[in-house]
Structure formats: structure tokens, C-alpha cells
């Protein structure tokens, strides 16, 4: 567990395994996981004003505009739940978002301890996303090829019928990958000279990738482990 504030972000293409690995790292470091895609999906489901504006972008595989997204994420990070740090999954995704996150951290006399960058091939991304299924009730993520539910198409925990995310349809996956290369991949350049930058091969099996991340974190020795 951490003994002081610890801030991390996890970067990578759609399907790189950000959510999967963020859960492991967040548990091991005792730092809360902020899944920004999930934040957007809950706002859409709850039909909030933000959700109504964001939905069209999300279902087309485009990014929600910066002015909307920056506001909602930074407001959330001000909550007491994140006073000891956070693991941000899916933010920043543009240079503007990265600059605003830096300003936010400066204002709170804090910094980013680690930037976990997960690399995968486009072919792996498409295969993983096409076979992903999610529980619409508790948000658990499965994969028909690599992490199937115990019972065909129902959630192991709440037994609800699993669904495919609307943005996991073939045409939308291609659009999301294009958007990633244009708008988010440049962040690797932005962060890579920092000493907390961890360049991880995300293409291996889940446990292997988790171990690469955790051993890189142990090696640098920040965040109390
Ligand atoms: P978001 O939900 O964040 O989508 P994404 O970035 O496209 O990433 P994914 O969640 O699809 O992939 P992942 O890397 O988390 O992979 P996962 O672990 O699930 O965002 C959705 C939308 O919200 C965006 O398109 C945008 O519209 C909006 N949005 C969110 N943040 C925004 C921002 N900052 N600015 C603007 N707009 C924003 O794994 C994928 C599958 O592979 C799973 O089935 C999993 O079980 C499996 N798997 C994972 N790892 C492995 C492994 N090592 N081996 C085998 N299978 C694996
Ligand atoms: Mg995710």
C-alpha cells in the first residue's frame, strides 16, 4: 500500500488493456482507478447534460471535446477519494488535456509519478475489441477468446446478459484507432523524457503484462513499494 500520494496515468490504444491493467495496478498500489470511458458511459446512461452532449461523439468513436472532458475529469479529481492519488485510465488523450492535467497537479503541489504506456499492434487491438463483452450492470469486462465468462454469455457475478459495447463494432473500432494515432499517440513524445515513463509491451498475456508493469514500478521505487 502507498504511504504517500501517488499519481499515475495509463496510456495506450483502444484494446491495449488499459482497463484490465489499471485494475491490477490500482489494487497493488492501493490507488483508486478512474476509468474515463466508464465515466462517460455512466453519464450517458444517467442522461445528464454532459452525457447528452458526449454520446454522439462516443458512439462514433470520436473523442468528446476537450472543454467538456477536462471539466468533468478535473472536477472528479478534486473529490476527497483522490486525496492520496489516482490512476487515470483514458485521460489525457490530447495535448490540451495533458497540459491541463499538469496545471492541475502544479496547483495541488503534486506531480505524475508514473506514465504507463502500453504498446500493442493494430491487429491485436482489433481482435481484442471484437471479442470483448461487458456486463451492462456491474461493468465487468470479459473476452470471448482470452477471458471468457464461466457461463456462455452471462456475467459471472451478477448473472446479467453480457453485451458488446456499441463502439466495439468493426467500423467504429477502425475510427477509434485512427483517432488514437492522430490525437493521443503524440502524448508518448510529450511524456517519454520523464523518469516515470514506463514503456510496456502490452501484447503478451494479461499476467505477463501486469508483471512487467509492477516490476518496472518496483525498480523505480516510487509510490511506497
Ligand atoms: P474508453 O472506454 O476509454 O475506450 P478506449 O480508450 O477505446 O479503450 P478501451 O476501454 O476500449 O480499451 P482498454 O485499453 O481499456 O482495453 P481493455 O482492458 O478493456 O473510452 C470510450 C470513449 O469515451 C472514447 O472513444 C471517447 O469517445 C470517450 N472518452 C473517454 N475518455 C476521453 C477523453 N479523455 N477525452 C475525450 N473523450 C474521451 O481490454 C480490451 C479487451 O481485451 C478485453 O476484452 C480484455 O479482457 C482483453 N484483454 C486485455 N488485456 C489482454 C491481454 N493482455 N491479453 C488478452 N486479452 C486481453
Ligand atoms: Mg478501457
In this structure, which residue's CA is closest to atom 26 in ligand 1?
63
CA distance 43 to 69: 12
Whether residue 86 contacts residue 31, with contact meaning beta carbons closer than 8 Å, is answered with: yes
93 is catalytic: yes
Neighbours of 27 (CB within 10 A): 11
- To test the ligand 1 pocket, which listed residue (13, 25, 35, 40) has its Cβ within 8 A of the most ligand atoms? 40
Strands 85-89 and 33-35: parallel
User: What 8-state DSSP symbol labels residue 94?
Assistant: S
In this structure, which residue's CA is closest to atom 2 in ligand 1?
37
Alpha carbon 64 to its chain's center: 15
Which ligand 1 atom sits nearest the alpha carbon of residue 93?
34
The rounded Å distance from CA 36 to ligand 2 centre is 8
* Tens digits of residue pLDDT in 147-170: 999 998 999 999 999 999 999 999
Q: What pLDDT band is residue 5 in, cutting at 50, 70 and 90?
A: confident
* Tens digits of residue pLDDT in 115-124: 999 999 999 9
Q: What pLDDT band is residue 223 in, cutting at 50, 70 and 90?
A: confident
Residue 1: predicted pLDDT: 44
134 CB under 6 A from ligand 1? no
CA distance 93 to 84: 23
165 is catalytic: yes
20 CB under 6 A from ligand 1? yes
Task: Tell me what the mean pLDDT of segment 29-58 comes to.
Answer: 96
pTM of the complete model beyond 0.85: yes
| pLDDT of 2 over the 50 cut | no
Q: Phi first, then psi: give them for residue 222, nearest 5 degrees.
A: -90, 180
CA distance 175 to 168: 10
Residue 164: predicted pLDDT: 96
In this structure, which residue's CA is closest to atom 40 in ligand 1?
15
Amino acid at each position: 500500500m502507498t504511504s504517500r500520494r501517488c499519481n499515475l496515468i495509463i496510456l495506450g490504444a483502444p484494446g491495449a488493456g488499459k482497463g484490465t491493467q489499471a485494475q491490477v495496478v490500482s489494487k497493488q498500489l492501493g490507488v483508486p482507478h478512474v476509468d474515463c470511458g466508464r465515466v462517460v458511459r455512466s453519464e450517458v446512461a444517467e442522461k445528464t447534460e454532459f452525457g447528452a452532449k458526449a454520446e454522439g461523439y462516443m458512439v462514433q468513436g470520436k473523442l468528446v471535446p476537450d472543454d467538456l472532458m477536462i471539466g468533468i475529469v478535473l472536477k472528479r479529481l478534486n473529490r476527497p477519494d483522490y486525496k492520496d492519488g489516482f490512476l487515470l485510465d483514458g485521460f489525457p488523450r490530447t495535448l490540451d488535456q495533458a497540459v491541463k492535467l499538469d496545471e492541475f497537479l502544479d496547483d495541488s503541489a503534486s506531480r505524475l509519478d508514473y506514465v504507463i504506456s502500453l504498446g500493442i499492434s493494430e491487429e491485436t487491438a482489433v481482435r481484442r475489441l471484437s471479442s470483448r463483452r461487458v456486463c451492462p450492470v456491474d461493468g465487468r469486462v470479459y473476452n470471448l477468446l482470452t477471458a471468457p465468462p464461466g457461463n456462455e454469455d452471462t456475467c459471472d457475478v451478477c448473472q446479467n446478459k453480457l453485451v458488446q459495447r456499441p463502439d466495439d463494432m468493426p467500423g467504429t473500432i477502425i475510427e477509434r484507432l485512427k483517432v488514437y494515432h492522430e490525437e493521443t499517440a503524440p502524448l508518448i513524445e510529450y511524456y517519454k523524457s520523464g523518469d516515470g515513463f514506463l514503456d510496456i509491451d502490452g501484447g503478451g498475456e494479461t499476467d505477463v503484462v501486469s508483471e512487467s508493469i509492477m516490476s518496472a514500478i518496483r525498480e523505480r521505487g516510487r509510490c511506497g513499494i
